[in-house]
Amino acid sequence: MGAFDDPAAALAAADLAMVAGVLLAGLALPAAISAWIDARGPWLATALSVLAAVLIVTAAFLHPGAYSWREVPMAFVRMVAWVVN
């Protein structure tokens, strides 16, 4: 029996990847603005953007069809509930 045979575990893994990807994408924007203001290459912003994209695509593949724009906030709620519980 694999780690993702349980549907709840598969959804939790997908939610974790989605939440981490969205948070990293949010961190990439200030990094890009900071690099632009300082007239330097946006290496950190690029790395954060690529990692965020990989995590979001991974979440979409782990649980296909689960994430629409309305479901992303629910992924955050489920992750907070998982941590608190």
In a domain, 65, yes or no: yes
State pLDDT tens for residues 66-79.
788 888 889 899 89
User: Which residues constitute the domain of residue 71?
Assistant: 7-84
Q: How far apart (Å, rounded) are the C-alpha atoms in residues 64 and 50?
A: 20
In a domain, 64, yes or no: yes
State pLDDT tens for residues 8-51.
777 788 889 999 999 999 999 999 999 999 999 999 999 999 99
Residue 55 clears pLDDT 50, i.e. is over it: yes
In a domain, 2, yes or no: no
In a domain, 1, yes or no: no
Q: First vs last Cα of the chain: how many Å apart?
A: 25
pTM: 0.83
Q: Which long-range contacts (CB under 8 A, 24 or more apart) does 75-82 make?
A: 75/14, 75/15, 75/18, 75/19, 76/19, 76/22, 78/11, 78/12, 78/15, 79/15, 79/16, 79/19, 82/12, 82/15
Number of domains in the chain: 1
Please tell me the predicted confidence (pLDDT) of residue 1. Answer: 46
